[in-house]
Structure 1
Amino acid sequence: MLNQHSIEELAEIHNLLTDIKQEYKNGIKPILLKNSSNLFNNPHTVPKLKKIQINRGLGLVAQNKNLLKKSIEEFEKITGQKPIITKSKKAIAGFKIRENMELGLTVTLRGEKMYAFLTKLIFFTFAQIRDFRGLSLRSFDKAGNFTFGLQEQLIFPEIDYDDVEQTQGFTITIVLDNCLPKYRKTTMDRILNGMILFKFLRFPLNDVGYYAKYFSFSEINQIWDKKRHLKRKRWSQE
């Protein structure tokens, strides 16, 4: 028999699967405002999803029109949106790159397509990755956005194995809208906001426990500064 915690957990996952946008609006946001009033003193300070950017670098392979067309079709199947072809801004002779040369694909998802893609990513796609152990907190940047890579397109349910000629990955950036007050505009505050939102969205972060031994974010910040100092010292000695 399931205990009360398990029932609540299943109900939360069911709501996210049904409509992740409504669950954020009617469930996650009110809870953060009520239980974390010291961090979120008004609705505008609660972190929210802004957009999801999906990129694929093809390099010189993009000059093959058939492979480029295949990649565009895969993007359309996975995201439900036609990608933009990215081009080089300047020529680089060493890499055989000419100016305005086609090199990759990019898609920016907003609104309903963004939430639909995120739901598929969290609850279906990650489960298809072999030996998946979660995503690292270190993938947050200074703005509080989260970037990670996927090595192949076969983990998406829309892609048929027989149609894939060569495996190609993606880089996915989840951009958050952080409207923080003046006293909470540090990098750690932005990362904290992202961690809190991802926890409610059931995002598989794997090294949260590593930071549990610290009592405050100032201690974590000191550890990061120490590691950066050691890296600089090691590089200077090489």
Structure 2
Amino acid sequence: MLNQHSLEEIAEIHNLLGDIKKEYENGIKPILIKNSPKLFKNPHTVPKLKKIQINRGLGAAAQNTNILKKNIEEFEKITGQKPVVTKAKKAIAGFKIREEMELGLTVTLRGEKMYTFLTKLLFFTFAQIRDFRGLSLRSFDKSGNYTLGLKEQLIFPEIEYDDVDQIQGFTITIVMDHGSPKYRSESIDKILNGMILFKFLRFPLNDCGYYDKYESFADINRAWDKKRLLKRKRWSQAQD
């Protein structure tokens, strides 16, 4: 059952972002430069996607050869690339973790594989999440990168229900390449760059209007400083 869009509209959206890399180079980047010439004087300072990292922690289950093999196969199906097995850097006796102990899987996607995975994420995966209400702007970190968690692998089209022994999720980090000059290397600038790029890429952000009430970047900075001081005050009170 279709909610808001007709089949024609859905087809137009798919055609528009059928090749996100091409859309970025020929559409998004020129528009950003044209609309914000002072902000993006140099084309190399326009925010762009650098890589996508997909991680899954397995804990002690990674010691089971069959479970590890099954998870590696899932990663290959979903990402089109063989994952790297992550290992403990040091021993932690309290958690029964030994040095070099296998703990999870990670994949880093770049280039065509990155854009292919992103297209699938935007067009199919998010739509399969039950009660999905969009992505929060608060998931940007200080470097302007975005991290989101997915609770299950069944939302990916490559995974068959009958092949899944255990529901497991992922952590996906979308890493940005800002290339900003030093005078625009503050966290707020990087986060705003990420928000701008996500908006053009049609990411389903659920609180895009969060900053509409502010008239300038200075107002946003003051609001952030106020929140930072409030958190610091609460922390100091909690320690007393």
TM-score by length of 1: 0.92
SS of residue matched to 1:213: coil
Match of 2:119 in 1: 119
Q: Please state how far the C-alpha of 1:13 moved relative to its aligned partner.
A: 5.0
Give per-residue Cα distances to partners, 1:93-112, cap 9 Å, x unaligned: 11010110000000000010
- Residues 93 and 58 (structure 1 numbering): CA distance in 2 closer, same or farther, change over 3 Å? same
Where in structure 1 are there 5+ consecutive unaligned residues? 1-6
SS of residue matched to 1:97: coil
The answer to which of 100-109 and 39-48 deviates more is: 39-48
Match of 1:84 in 2: 84
- Residues 9 and 151 (structure 1 numbering): CA distance in 2 closer, same or farther, change over 3 Å? closer
Q: Please state how far the C-alpha of 1:142 moved relative to its aligned partner.
A: 1.2
Distance 1:195 1:10 in 2: 26
- Residues 12 and 189 (structure 1 numbering): CA distance in 2 closer, same or farther, change over 3 Å? farther
Contact 2:77 2:158 in 1 (8 A): yes
Match of 1:185 in 2: 185
Q: Please state how far the C-alpha of 1:115 moved relative to its aligned partner.
A: 0.2
SS of residue matched to 2:52: strand
Distance 1:189 1:216 in 2: 12
Distance 2:186 2:150 in 1: 29
Distance 1:208 1:70 in 2: 38
Moved over 6 A (4+): 7-10
Q: Please state how far the C-alpha of 1:185 moved relative to its aligned partner.
A: 1.4
Distance 2:34 2:162 in 1: 50
Q: Please state how far the C-alpha of 1:221 moved relative to its aligned partner.
A: 2.1
Distance 1:130 1:11 in 2: 25
Distance 2:233 2:32 in 1: 41
Correspondence 1:16-95 to 2 at 5 A:
16=17, 18-95=18-95
The answer to which of 87-96 and 208-217 deviates more is: 208-217
Match of 2:16 in 1: 15
Q: Please state how far the C-alpha of 1:84 moved relative to its aligned partner.
A: 0.1
Q: Please state how far the C-alpha of 1:9 moved relative to its aligned partner.
A: 9.9
Q: Please state how far the C-alpha of 1:232 moved relative to its aligned partner.
A: 2.2
Q: Please state how far the C-alpha of 1:8 moved relative to its aligned partner.
A: 9.9
Correspondence 1:186-205 to 2 at 5 A:
186-205=186-205
SS of residue matched to 1:228: helix
Match of 2:128 in 1: 128
- Residues 47 and 183 (structure 1 numbering): CA distance in 2 closer, same or farther, change over 3 Å? same
Match of 2:5 in 1: none
Distance 2:193 2:10 in 1: 21
Match of 1:4 in 2: none
AA in 1 matched with 2:63: Q
Distance 2:55 2:96 in 1: 21
AA in 2 matched with 1:39: L
Contact 2:14 2:123 in 1 (8 A): no
AA in 1 matched with 2:26: N
CA RMSD in angstroms, aligned pairs only: 1.7
Q: Please state how far the C-alpha of 1:233 moved relative to its aligned partner.
A: 1.8
Q: How many corresponding residue pairs?
A: 231
Where in structure 2 are there 5+ consecutive unaligned residues? 1-7
- Residues 12 and 158 (structure 1 numbering): CA distance in 2 closer, same or farther, change over 3 Å? closer
The answer to which of 213-222 and 25-34 deviates more is: 213-222
Give per-residue Cα distances to partners, 1:128-166, cap 9 Å, x unaligned: 001111111111111111111111111111111111111
